[in-house]
Structure 1
Amino acid sequence: MTVQVIAVTGGKGGVGKTNVAINCAVALAQRGKRVAILDADFGLANVDVLLSLPVRRNIEQVLDGECSIEEVMLSGPAGVRIIPASSGTRRLTRLNELEQAGLIRAFSTLASQLDVLIVDTAAGIADSVLTFANASQELLLVLCNEPSSLTDGYALIKLLNRDFGRQRFRVLANMVADDREGRQLLAKLASVCEQFLSVNLLYSGAIPFDVQLREAVKKQRSVLDYAPSAPASRAFRQLAEEIERWPVPRQAGGHMEFFVESLLMPVPASSGGAQ
């Protein structure tokens, strides 16, 4: 079996990135995919909070050899599994050789159990965000219709392109009126990128502003579970269909081994804060 690794990132906070990661995972699971979410926001881990799931162990205890990665995982809606982060730690990006080997081994055991791993990165353009984004096979950049979202989205693309040579970026418009507004957002971002960068921006759809999605957040549930017929739920199902058309890695284990090994490579010294 092959594993597809998708990083969901936003360049800034407040664009709804974690909600996108959760509902995207649920939509894929409802289509029969075996899905896990890695909460890679080590400053403010909140996938578990948004789904009202009690966390007893996290990935740090896997590194300490106290438990397996399977024992850490939480069970979410539609059978989605969540690998919770340890808030307030940067440890995953500063591991010794023994811990690195343990992490590779832990994730390698997951390869046979998953079809898709969704990585919910932190906000911003810190080294840890760049590391997770670059290690993932696909990068889904979440934009909303605010100047700061476009500015920070561009900064993230620029860093990943300049320091890692990444050229393909998938863009999802969130909290927009309709698909037309979503495509206009992509066009704005593309016009800036075309002037200074050689990158390929691919439109992955739009999630409409939806009161029922906000209600689902308050209830600590995915909108697909809370209001299956809501406009946002329909949009997430369309996104899941779109993702199923993305190319899947052919090698055994898919992208999982490359993902973990890439996490452990040092980030180029010039990255992390350039505008």
Structure 2
Amino acid sequence: MPIESQTMSAAPSLPPAAPAAPAGPAAAVSAGSAGARIIAVTSGKGGVGKTFVSANLAAALARTGQRVLVLDADLGLANLDVMLNLHPKTTLHDVFTGKARLEDAVMTTPGGFDALLAGSGMAEYSRLTPEVRSQFLSVIEALTPRYDLLLLDTGAGISDLVLFSVSLACEVLIVATPEPTSLTDAYAAIKVLAMQQKRQHVRMVINQATRPGDGRAITGQLQQVLDRFISTESGHPMRLIHMGDIPSDPSVRDAVMRRHLLLLQTPGCPAALAIAQLANKIETTLLVPAA
């Protein structure tokens, strides 16, 4: 596999590190202890289907009775509204500027979950200023008592805003495709999460898998690279948890082009069934109430 030749002999070089964000688990406890579990859906590279996964995963979990909200945490290049064919009159930008209440910005989607949409093209919110940091954290703290699950649909990469969003989550779900560039960037993101946020594990979903078993093999190969190059604060390698594969499926492109949720448009297609399996795995392993 191409990533082996790129990374098994030497770890990929990384861009300069962004300013350190709070350690993920510690920040997540303070943000999410009163209610919802917070899962960040992120990726090393853009264009891998991260928002598609977030939206359809939310719909699948809502079907099981979970109270779910998806927050578009890509504050500068938001596109969750496009994916869901929503036309919000009020966005997170209006909440941040004091023009609207948080309650007015939360929308109910056709998938049965709520969404908090961000305005696109807001350059002032593409950087993690102290004001954005404070406002974003206040929104998260206000939302957690109302839901069982918050999905943070972050931007791609390792910017300070992405890392801060991820730091608020108790779990991280990295979406990647089998393409070498996607896997190399996923490795870079995982490395930063291990070193800056002291994460002990992250969860992986391989989108656009071409053959059954591809995702597990890819996750295993990435794990070998991490075992060789990356150690966590505990001295153990960062652990990758393979959560599932979403197969390459023409129904996905059709749903995205129509701006429909795949789970509503073609619920029996292979990709939709895979997302339903992913939702079931998340519900049974991450959302089970503590005894």
TM-score by length of 2: 0.80
Structure 1 equivalent of residue 185 of structure 2: 152
Tell me if 1:217 matches 2:250.
no
State the superposition RMSD in angstroms.
2.1
Q: Which amino acid aligns with 1:64?
A: T
* Equivalent residue for 1:135, pick from 162, 168, 175: 168
Alpha-carbon distance in structure 1 between the residues aligned to 2:151 and 2:124 = 19
The 5 Å alignment of 1:12-23 reads 12-23=45-56
The 5 Å alignment of 1:44-123 reads 44-87=77-120, 88-91=122-125, 93-96=128-131, 100=134, 103-123=136-156
In structure 2, the gaps of 5 or more residues are 1-33, 231-236
Secondary structure of 1:78's aligned partner: coil
Figure out how many residues of one structure are paired with residues of the other and give that number: 249
1:245 and 1:90, CA in 2 relative to 1: closer, same or farther beyond 3 A?
A: farther
Alpha-carbon distance in structure 2 between the residues aligned to 1:144 and 1:199 = 20
In structure 1, the gaps of 5 or more residues are 252-275
Secondary structure of 1:66's aligned partner: coil
* Equivalent residue for 2:213, pick from 132, 157, 180: 180
Q: Which amino acid aligns with 1:224?
A: L
How far did residue 129 of structure 1 move?
A: 1.2
Q: Deviations over 1:43-102 (max 9, x none)?
A: 3210001111002121122122222212001221232111111223353732449x82x6
Q: 2:144, 2:150 within 8 Å by CA — same for their partners in 1?
A: no
Q: Deviations over 1:1-35 (max 9, x none)?
A: 73111111110012111100111101001111111
Alpha-carbon distance in structure 1 between the residues aligned to 2:101 and 2:250 = 39
* Equivalent residue for 1:227, pick from 266, 270, 276: 266
1:173 and 1:60, CA in 2 relative to 1: closer, same or farther beyond 3 A?
A: same
Alpha-carbon distance in structure 2 between the residues aligned to 1:190 and 1:6 = 21
Percent identity between the aligned chains? 37
Q: 2:70, 2:150 within 8 Å by CA — same for their partners in 1?
A: yes
Structure 1 equivalent of residue 24 of structure 2: none
Secondary structure of 1:93's aligned partner: coil
Moved more, 140-149 or 62-71: 62-71
Alpha-carbon distance in structure 2 between the residues aligned to 1:150 and 1:106 = 32
1:250 and 1:89, CA in 2 relative to 1: closer, same or farther beyond 3 A?
A: farther
